[in-house]
Each structure stands twice: as structure tokens, then as C-alpha cells.
Amino acid sequence: MQLRRWQRSANWVASNPLESNPRVNSLVNDSIVELLGELQDRRPHNSPSPPSTYHNNSDIEMDAPQSDHEFLQTQDPTHYSVSFNDSDTTQLQASALDMAISQLAEELESFLFNDFESESSEDDLEERDPEFFAEVLLTTDEIEQDPVSFGQRCPRMKPSHANPEWFPWPDKAACILDLFRHLPRGIFSEAQMEIVTWALSAFGINNVPSVDVMKSVDDYLQSLCGIHTVHHQGALGHIYYMNDLAGIIRQEMANPRVRQHIHHYHEDSGRHLEHAWQAEAWRDLDPDLATPMVRMGHQDYYVYEVTHLETGDLVIPHRWFTRRHKPGSEQQDLYCMAWKLDIDHGAQGYIVCKWDQVQVPVTSLLASLPHISESFELDGGYDPRKIIGVQKQPNEGLLPWTHTNWDTGSLNPWRIKAKNHRVLTFAMWVYCDDTSGNVSKKWNKHNSFLFTAAGLPREHVHRQSNIHFLSTSNLAPPLEMLDGFVDQLEAGQKHGIWAWDIEAKEMVLLIPAVLAMLGDNPMQSEFACHVGLTGKFFCRCCWAKGRDAEDEGPLPSQTPSTRASPIPSPSHIPATDTSSIHSDAGSEKSASGKRRRRIETLSQLKERAKRFLEKHQLRTPDDTKKTLKSIFTKSSTINGKTEAKQMMTQFGVKDTFLDHFRDKVLSFISKLPRGTAREEKQRETDKYVKEELPDDVYSPVWRIKGFDPHRDTPVEILHVILLGFVKYYWRDAMTRLSDEQKMSSHTGCPPSMSLHLDYLLWQEKHLSSMPVLCLDVTFA
């Protein structure tokens, strides 16, 4: 039994430094001495080799191990086994004993002189005796540590060995170090973490995980509760990666610090506007994306379902919203906007009167559709699931009812998907912008997508922890990455996203919705398929018009002998490769030089400003999509390239996603043989478009349900005001000053006392001391 105890001690010591455990050193040394003493008693002292036979009270057998007292089992394929049995006496061959002792000596040498800090394999840890392992840990915890000795190294452990009190981390040390390694804006390299773990061990702290162990913990945590990254093969040919949108939303709903602030219903706040859920954009959100239900008592009321009021009337709610109980009160009451129903006795059904709309508090709702369907015969009414049609105006014809289906019991589809769980909307601000490249090439120019929960208050929505990264790429353009985002968004809007609601302590089904897309003006113009601010129709929201080509004129020729060539018409100006197309103004050069603006009279300037400030007709998604389809059709027509460019300039639209496929078509047309008839070229082109191009060649922004890129791209204050006209007004003012006036302005702006200007001017002849003087100015 002592030999068995020594073997277990040696196995444990192999993965722990002996120099840091005096108690373990003593335990191992005593075991080794006892083992060698027992071996020495079984062989003569005066012979270098064991005798041919040896008799003792014990019976030693080869290849016949007795499991009760087995003390040695080598890893050699011959599997030598030595057993003791007090009942018999058996001979032991000298050569076999030599081999056993030799093998034992090699293992002892390996244990005593090899590097004990090397990590053991997971299989070795599995084979250890758990009772002895716990006994040794308990014993070593009671040992008084040397102030300068190193702590014990933490063995690589599987998640099954983790301390449940620190789930999902294996233990306290792993939790703290993992949080330490993932501090925002404070990422540590592996070399730095090696120094940190070494320092902790030098302080005598036990069970400090190594860097490799922390990597294993990271992989385990990522697989357990991390955000998965989705691989995308872009429609334009680029590969990019995007974080799982549904996974991020689930974490938001399960985060107790965030969940309590998220709103899901529009608030009718009157003229007061402070948060996103109080704005018209949320109020006018597509009813299929807004929160479709409320829970009152034990009943769930859904939009587009017949509902019984306490007054006895039947209505169909189509939108839920909240309103403060009293002015200044924090209590919110739920209301619904509902359409009244008219009974059609001939068809024995109901007609939805959209022209007759009422606001009803949810406290006045009496019964939902499932309950009404069970009792309508007893009440003497008609089946509430039978909707005859929709009437938008009195005395008008009926339109078909499409929101629910008779085959599904006229139930809202979300009621069927939710299975008695609550359904909520999750509105988002989606942000995209480009990051300019660094001169040192530390990073290249790239585009990034992020999003924030729009249901958060303003003081929370801009916190770094509430801004979630989706994707970045220095190859894929924004609209190609948007295509991957829309794929995830459509899947969430079709099936919903199941998440744990930490506030309600239950599973809920979420409907993701894009409330608005944020960015600077060029990026938002690209989202809206607009030419940009330099275009003739420079506004992405309306049809405000800028200068025409006739407002421009050529600069005088710098060479008198050179005559100016005719200026090309606006329709022949080629589109640029950037997110916006340059307008006629200042975008072309004539043979005589650059173009310049004609001098405006005061009346002309007033007229242009008045025209700019007028209320113009708004752009609509339907009109823009029709225009883009016409442009693509013209581009796919033989000799239609010029006319397509004219349409882009005329309507101020430009789809960079569509341009990729337009270029493919134009390149195909240019490679057709010149002698081919036009009709044959057109047939070949149509065949190429049908077989080689995808079905949807237009911007993925049009696939975002309930999103209008002309209205839902709010103006960014930073670039429009501070870095917009304020900056240009100041630049215009500074360009009119002479150098002396600029110097006077520069020296007069900062406080002269804090800069020590007299001292600086007195020392100006000492050029070598200028860096020191600048440093003095910095710290003055």
C-alpha cells in the first residue's frame, strides 16, 4: 500500500513544482526511501545483481497480477506486473526483477530531474485519484508559504472540473484574469500576460492559470455564450465576416443593466419630444414590425384580430402605444388604435371600416379572439373570424382583407409563432461610416457597421457598452456588407428571435426593426441611392435643385492662340466611381481651362435662395426604384449607355450596388463582335442578364421592411453644422485676411499670460532650444 501511495504522489508531483511545496517534498522523499528500502531487502547486499531465485513470505508472480496488491505496472508492451500474495511462495527470475528495477529507476529519474512546470495532459489528469488529489490540495493550502517562493501552477482542467460558484469561468483566478485580458481599450499581448501570471506566481499566489489555459477558457466561453461570426460571400465578389445579429440582441435582453431601459412601445408624448420612441418614425413604424400584442391578465391581445370591448362593440386593434397617466407622472398607460367593424348580415360576417378609427385603453378590452370564437354562438353573433373585406371610405367598394388567413383561424401569425409567449419589437439605430487610411499604413481605409438599441434613453444610447459592432472590411463596399446584414434582418423578421427576458423572467419572441440608418452625408446618400451633395438635385430627401450647366462658363484661355472647344452637354458627363456623382458645376474642364461660375446679380441670388428654401416634393422609394429599373434597362440595351447616364443626372440617383452589374453588362456588350446585327446583340445581352446576373441586382436597402432611405436617414449635426457651414464661413472669413492680420488674430486668441510670449520671443534666436520652449508652452 505504501508503494501505491508513492506512485500516486509521484503522478501528482509531475505537474506541480516541488520547490514550492515542502510538505509534498517530504512526502515524496519518505515514499522513495521506503520503496528503495523494500527493494533492497529483496536482494543480497553483496551481489550486484539479484539471485536466480528468491524466497520470501510473499509470492511474486510474473504476468499473473493480483489486483488486490498490484503495485507496479509499466507502459512496456510486455506489461510486467508484480504482485504480493502471503499465501504462496514463488520464484522470481533475476532478469525480470532487473528489468522492473531498471524501469523504476528511469521513472524516478524522470520525476526528480525533469521540468515539473510543464503542463500535464488532460488524460493524465483524468487518471488521477480524485480523493488523493483533493487530499493533497487540502494539505498544501494549509502550508505556510515562503514569502519569496512561487505559487503552484494551475493544471489545465476541463469545464467539467470547474467551480460552479464561478460559472461560466472555471474558478476565481480564471474569471479575474479573463476580465483583465478583455478590458476595453486595454488589450494585453501574450507576452504581457506571461509577465502578469509570472508576477502573481512570484507573490506566492497558487493556481494561477497560464496563458494557454486562458486561451482554452476563451474558446470555451466563446462557444458557450459568445457571439458567433458569420462568413459571407458578397454579391459583388468580396468575402467579409459579420457578427450574429440575433446573438447580440439576445445578450441585450439578458443584460439586467440594459434590459430595464429598453422600450418596445411608442409613447404619445404630445408636443414633447425627448427620446426615439416618442417620435413620429416609431409611431408610423410598419404595423407588422411594431410590437403586435399586449398582455392583460391571462389574455393576449394581438393586432389584426377581432377584439371585444366592455361596451359590447367589436373592433380590430392595429397599433399599441403608451401615454402618461398624468402630466409629469412616470406611470404609463397602454392604449390601442382600432378600426370599428360593421356587420354584413347578408354575408354573415364583418367589414373593417378603416375610416372609422378609435383610441381605446387596454383596460377596456374584454375578450380576445380565441375567447370570442368559443362563445359567439351563445351570444347570437356571427363568427368573428369571418372578415368580408376592408372599406377605406364610406360608401366605397370593399378591398380584400390580407392581414390574417381563414385557414389559420384568422389569428395573427405572431400568436401562432409565439406559443403563449410575449412578442416584442426591438428597434435599432444602424450606423455605417468609412475610416480613412493611416499615412503609416498601420491600417487601411475600411467601412464598419454598428448598431444600437433605439429603445434606450439618450443618456444610454451613446455609451460604448451599448454600441455593438457588426462588421468591417477594407475590400467590401458598404452596400455589399449591408446585403449580409439584411439577410440576418429578414430571417429575424420572418421567424423572430427567441431571447430570455431578464426582467420578466421568461422567454420572449423579438421582431428586429431598423428605425433609422446613421452616417455622414456621403454615406447616407449612398444608402438612399442618391448622387450626393455635389449633384444638381443635391438633396436625398426631396427634389431641391442646384445650379444647371447654363449657370457656368469657361475660364479665359491662358494661351491666346488656343480657342476654346465646345463644352459637352450635361448628359455626356460620366459618372464617378465614388458614392456621389459630380454635378455640372465645376466638374468638367474645357480645352481652354477650368470652368467657373458666372457672377450672380443680387436679384438672382435672392431668387435662388428663395427657391432653395421652398418646400419641395419629397422623394419616395417607389419612384426611386422605378428610376433605377429604367436605368438598368437602358444600360442593358444596345447603345443605351449614354441615355442611362442622362437619366442618372436628370433624376439625381445612383445605385453603387447596381453599378457593379451595369458595368458587367456594358463590358459584355463591348466584347460582342462589331459585325453582329443589333437584334442578335440584344438577344445575347438579354440571355447574359437572365443567366449570369442574380435576380435582384439593386441595392439591399430596398429589402429592409418598413424603411424609407429618403426619410429614415436623419441629418448628422457634426458634419452638417460644425464641420459644415460653420467651418466654411470661418474659412471664408480667414481667406480675406492678410498675413499680418492672421498673425495678429492668432496671437490675440489665446491668453498671452499663459503662453509666456515675451520669454518665447526673447529666446527665439536659440533655435536648438525650440523643442524645450514648446514643451514649456505645453506645460505652462
Q: What is the pLDDT of residues 354-391, one digit of tens each?
A: 999 999 999 999 999 999 998 888 777 889 999 999 99
CA distance 48 to 396: 118
Q: How far is CA 342 from CA 29, 307, 308, 366, 537, in A?
A: 96, 13, 13, 19, 48
* Model pLDDT, residue 88: 44
CA distance 380 to 343: 13
Q: Which residues make Cβ contacts (< 8 Å) with residue 768, sequence separation at least 6?
A: none
CA distance 225 to 340: 47
> pLDDT tens digit string along 420-429?
999 999 999 9
Looking at the DSSP bridge assignments, the partners of residue 469 are 450
* Model pLDDT, residue 351: 94
> pLDDT tens digit string along 726-766?
888 888 888 888 888 888 777 766 555 555 656 555 555 55
Grid-cell match 499663459, residue found: 754
pLDDT reading at 126 higher than 80: no
- Asked whether 528 and 560 are in contact (CB, 8 A), the reply is no
CA distance 642 to 737: 46
* Model pLDDT, residue 112: 55
Q: Among residues 39, 492, 580, which one has the least CA distance to residue 289?
A: 492
Select the more confidently predicted residue: 573 or 683.
683
Query: Cis peptide leading into 361, omega within 30 of 0?
Result: no
Select the more confidently predicted residue: 332 or 759.
332
Q: Among residues 632, 657, 626, which one has the least CA distance to residue 645?
A: 632
DSSP 8-state symbol, 618:
B
Q: Among residues 338, 265, 349, 353, which one has the least CA distance to residue 305?
A: 338
3-state SS assignment for residue 340: strand
CA distance 15 to 156: 10
**Average pLDDT of every residue of the chain:** 77
Percent of the chain having pLDDT more than 90? 43
CA geometry: angle at 766 spanning 763 and 767, to 5°? 115
Pairing of strands 314-324, 266-267: parallel
Q: Among residues 188, 185, 198, which one has the least CA distance to residue 151?
A: 198
Select the more confidently predicted residue: 319 or 90.
319
CA distance 300 to 422: 8
Q: Which parts of 155-262 are beta strand (E)? A: 229-233, 239-243
CA distance 93 to 192: 57
Q: Among residues 659, 657, 644, 651, which one has the least CA distance to residue 699?
A: 657
Which secondary structure element, helix H or strand E, spans residue 73, and what is its range? strand 72-73
pLDDT reading at 116 higher than 60: no
- Asked whether 586 and 536 are in contact (CB, 8 A), the reply is no
Q: Which residues make Cβ contacts (< 8 Å) with residue 25, sequence separation at least 6?
A: 18, 19
The DSSP result for 647-681, as a single string, is HHHHHTB--HHHHHHHHHHHHHHHTS-TTS-HHHH
Q: Between 190-202 and 211-225, two packed helices, what is the crossing angle to 10 degrees?
A: 120
- Asked whether 187 and 131 are in contact (CB, 8 A), the reply is no
Which secondary structure element, helix H or strand E, spans residue 372, and what is its range? helix 369-379
CA 116 vs. chain centroid, Å, equals 43
Select the more confidently predicted residue: 577 or 159.
159
> pLDDT tens digit string along 470-513?
999 999 999 999 999 999 999 999 999 999 999 999 999 999 99
Of the pLDDT bands very low, low, confident and very high (cuts 50, 70, 90), residue 346 is confident
* Model pLDDT, residue 90: 42
pLDDT reading at 774 higher than 50: no
> pLDDT tens digit string along 152-194?
555 545 555 668 888 888 888 889 999 888 887 777 888 999 9
Q: Which residues make Cβ contacts (< 8 Å) with residue 197, sequence separation at least 6?
A: 177, 208, 209, 210, 211
DSSP 8-state symbol, 455:
T
DSSP 8-state symbol, 47:
-
Of the pLDDT bands very low, low, confident and very high (cuts 50, 70, 90), residue 611 is confident
The CB density around residue 402, as the number of other CB atoms within 10 Å, is 9
Burial label, 583 (beta-carbon count in 10 A; 0-12, 13-18, 19+): buried
Question: Average pLDDT in the 436-448 region?
Answer: 73
- Asked whether 608 and 633 are in contact (CB, 8 A), the reply is no
SS3 assignment for 225-255: HCCCEEEEECCCCCEEEEECHHHHHHHHHHC
> pLDDT tens digit string along 189-221?
889 999 999 998 888 888 888 899 999 889 988
Q: How far is CA 633 from CA 307, 662, 711, in A?
A: 48, 9, 27
Select the more confidently predicted residue: 122 or 729.
729
> pLDDT tens digit string along 545-561?
877 655 554 433 333 33
* Model pLDDT, residue 46: 45
- Asked whether 384 and 309 are in contact (CB, 8 A), the reply is no
* Model pLDDT, residue 369: 93
Q: Which amino acid is at 556?
A: P
Q: Which residues make Cβ contacts (< 8 Å) with residue 606, sequence separation at least 6?
A: none
Mean pLDDT lowest for which of 16-25, 85-94, 600-609, 626-635?
85-94
Q: Which amino acid is at 130?
A: P
* Model pLDDT, residue 492: 96
CA distance 132 to 121: 18
Mean pLDDT lowest for which of 345-349, 670-674, 742-746?
742-746
The phi-psi region of residue 55 (left if phi > 0; otherwise alpha if psi is between -120 and 50; otherwise beta) is: beta
